[in-house]
């Protein structure tokens, strides 16, 4: 008998993590996913499961070509309708990718009617806003069936990422097999098996400005959030927020697609997620205050200031 997620999940601090039903640690049981996924392959596993089961008919994600002749690793948003293509999008690209922009294509020329979306917290917010006020997006709100958020402290503009990799790490963009952030470092894994890392502090100057006024670490408006923080290497921290999200994950556990553990059994555990979420909130709240002193608008309240 497969585990009941309700027995495995714990509740964390909603102030830091946003509203949720529970948190646990998990990874995909499919070796092909784990080979290419960033962490536990939760995002890819949900997408493949949903497309195969017919719960979704489109998956909006981001794909990058490491060998692009002009801009290697520059991601572009895609609408994936074939489960066999989901893994092309796996892995974290530490640079902006306008996933929201692909939603239009999904509901028009691709005629999708039940979409799974994945994106950073800011993108998750944008999708929710569009569902409330679907300006220029008629028939959109009801077609989004699942919104997955990925935990995010900050992101880099493409040239910023390139500078970090090529100048600070001394690795040619084309050589990169995988990027990662963890244990206080920015990591680059090359195709030839080298591993280079630099202290995360050195990357701060290259962060995108908008990230400094964002107080959402855990994609608080998602159905399900996945991140690496809190769980061991190769595992993901999963935050379940809605009954719909829970239903999907439970069915995946029942079908043997996910291996799950209590986050209380693993290191570094939920405490670190809460801590970092709070760090982002506090740091960026200060930035917002400073901007207000300069009479700049509060993010999200741009329209109230006339």
Partner 1 sequence: MAETVELSPTTRHEGHGKLVLLVDDEGYVERAFYLNTSAIRGFEAMAKGRPAEFVQVAVMRICGICQATHGTASAEAFERAMGIEPPKAGRQLRELCALGNRIQSHVLHQLLVLDDFVEDEKEKVEAIKRIQQIRKIGQYVVDVVGGEGIHPPNIRIGGMASNITETARRKLYRRLREARDLMEEQHEFMMDAIESYCEEEGIDMETFGKHDQPFLATHPTYGDPEKIDFDRVVELRPIEYYGKENLEIALEHNGQIPLYDGVPVEVGPRARYAVFDAVDARGVLYIHVYRSMETLAAIDRAMNILDELNTSAPTLAEWEPKAGFGIGVHEAPRGTNVHMAEVDEKGIVKNYRIIAASTWNFPTVEKAIEGEKADYAEVIMRCYDI
Per CB under 8 A, does 220 bind partner 1? no
> Going edge to edge, which strands form the sheet with 144-150?
75-80, 58-64, 115-119, 144-150, 224-227, 236-240, 22-28, 258-261
Q: How far apart are CA 11 and CA 23, in angstroms?
A: 6
Q: How far apart are CA 72 and CA 280, in angstroms?
A: 30
Per CB under 6 A, does 40 bind ligand FAD? yes
x/- letters, 70..99, toward ligand FAD (CB under 6 A): -----x-------------xxxxxxx-x-x
x/- letters, 71..100, toward partner 1 (CB under 8 A): ----------x-------------------
Contact assessment for residue 190 and residue 175, using Cβ atoms and an 8 Å cutoff: yes
Per CB under 6 A, does 38 bind ligand FAD? yes
Tokens of 190: 């090359």
| Neighbour-count burial for 93-125, b at 16+ CB within 10 Å, e otherwise | bbbbbebbebbeebbeebebebbbbbbbbbbbb
In whole angstroms, how close is the CB of 52 to partner 1 at the nearest point? 15
Angle at 159 between CA 166 and CA 175, to 5 degrees: 35
Site for partner 1 in 264-293 (CB under 8 A): none
Per CB under 8 A, does 107 bind partner 1? yes
x/- letters, 169..188, toward ligand FAD (CB under 6 A): ------------x-------
Q: Is the dihedral of CA 250, 251, 252, 255 positive or negative?
A: positive
Q: At what angle do helices 42-53 and 243-254 cross, to 10 degrees?
A: 90
Q: How far apart are CA 62 and CA 83, in angstroms?
A: 15
Part in contact with partner 1 (CB under 8 A); list of ranges 44-52, 109-117, 174-182, 189-197: 109-117
The binder of 304, among partner 1, ligand FAD, none, by C-beta within 5 to 8 A per type, is: none
The binder of 104, among partner 1, ligand FAD, none, by C-beta within 5 to 8 A per type, is: partner 1
Contact assessment for residue 78 and residue 61, using Cβ atoms and an 8 Å cutoff: yes
Per CB under 8 A, does 110 bind partner 1? yes
In whole angstroms, how close is the CB of 58 to partner 1 at the nearest point? 9
Q: Is the peptide bond before 268 cis (omega within 30 degrees of 0)?
A: yes
Part in contact with partner 1 (CB under 8 A); list of ranges 8-16, 132-140, 163-171, 195-203: 132-140
Q: Choose between 138 and 267: whose C-beta lies nearer to ligand FAD.
A: 267
Q: From 274, 236, 228, select the one nearest 14 (Cα to Cα).
A: 274
With CB under 8 A as the contact rule, the residue among 31, 109, 192, 302 that binds partner 1 is: 109
172 CB-near residues (< 8 Å, 6+ apart): 166
Per CB under 6 A, does 126 bind ligand FAD? no
Residues that bind partner 1 (CB under 8 A): 57, 81, 104-105, 107-112, 136, 138-139
Residues that bind ligand FAD (CB under 6 A): 37-44, 61-62, 75, 89-95, 97, 99, 118-120, 150-153, 155, 181, 226-229, 236
């Amino acid at each position: 008998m497969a585990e009941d997620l309700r027995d495995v999940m714990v509740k964390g601090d909603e102030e830091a993590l946003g509203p949720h039903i529970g948190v646990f640690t998990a990874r995909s049981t499919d070796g092909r996913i784990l080979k290419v996924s960033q962490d536990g392959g939760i995002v890819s596993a949900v997408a493949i499961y949903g497309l195969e089961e017919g719960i979704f008919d489109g998956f909006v994600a981001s794909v990058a070509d490491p060998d692009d002749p002009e801009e290697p690793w520059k991601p572009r948003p895609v609408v994936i309708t074939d489960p066999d293509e989901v893994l092309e999008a796996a892995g974290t690209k530490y640079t902006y990718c306008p996933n929201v922009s692909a939603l239009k294509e999904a509901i028009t020329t691709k005629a999708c009617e039940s979409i799974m979306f994945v994106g950073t917290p800011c993108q998750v917010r944008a999708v929710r806003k569009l569902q409330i006020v679907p300006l220029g997006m008629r028939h959109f709100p009801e077609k989004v069936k699942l919104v997955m958020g990925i935990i995010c402290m900050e992101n880099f503009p493409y040239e910023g990422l390139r500078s970090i990799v090529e100048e600070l790490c001394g690795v040619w963009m084309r050589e990169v097999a995988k990027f990662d952030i963890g244990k206080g470092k920015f990591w680059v894994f090359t195709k030839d098996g080298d591993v280079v890392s630099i202290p995360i502090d050195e990357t701060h100057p290259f962060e995108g400005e908008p990230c400094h006024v964002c107080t959402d670490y855990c994609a608080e408006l998602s159905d399900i959030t996945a991140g690496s923080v809190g769980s061991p290497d190769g595992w993901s921290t999963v935050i379940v927020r809605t009954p719909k999200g829970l239903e999907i994950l439970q069915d995946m556990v029942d079908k043997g697609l996910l291996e799950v553990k209590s986050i209380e059994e693993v290191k570094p555990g939920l405490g670190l997620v809460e801590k970092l979420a709070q760090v982002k909130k506090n740091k960026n709240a200060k930035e917002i205050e400073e901007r207000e002193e300069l009479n700049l608008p509060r993010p999200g309240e741009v329209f109230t200031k006339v």
